[in-house]
Amino acid sequence: MLMVQKAAGFASPAQGYEEEGIDFNRLLITNPPATIIVRLDSGDMEELGLKRGVLLVVDRSKKAAANTFVMIRHEGRFLCRLLTMTGGQTAFTNGVEEFRPVPNETEIIGTITASINKYL
């Protein structure tokens, strides 16, 4: 005996509206050739909400603007700082202390576009 099952009734109202899975590369990275991921290895940005061990998505193609997190090279060290502008002058802060860029010693590497925290 051959049994054929046919659906009776109505299709699900959500049919056709299923979401795709989350692609973190597409969500977090807009320019792959210019993007690097770095791990923050110090706790000096905790005042501004970035904890030690957080992963930072750094886009080297985005122009830095006031009140954005940036990755800089300052006096030979790579640092994460908040870029601020006061009276037309650029400064960098970690929420506790602030410093002005030093010509030929401070370079903005890129703008931090996202941070990724792992809690467990």
Indicate the SS3 state at residue 25: helix
To the nearest 10°, the Cα dihedral for 66, 62, 74, 96?
A: 40
Residue reference for tokens 């923050």: 40
> What pLDDT is stored for residue 83 in this prediction?
96
pLDDT tens by residue, 21-76: 889 899 999 999 999 999 999 999 999 999 999 999 999 999 999 999 999 999 88
Query: In whole angstroms, how far apart are CA 53 and each of 38, 66, 68?
Result: 9, 25, 20
> What pLDDT is stored for residue 104 in this prediction?
86
Q: What domains does the chain contain, in order, with CATH numbers?
A: 24-116 (2.10.109.10)
Residue 59: CA atoms inside 13 Å, Cβ hemisphere, count?
17
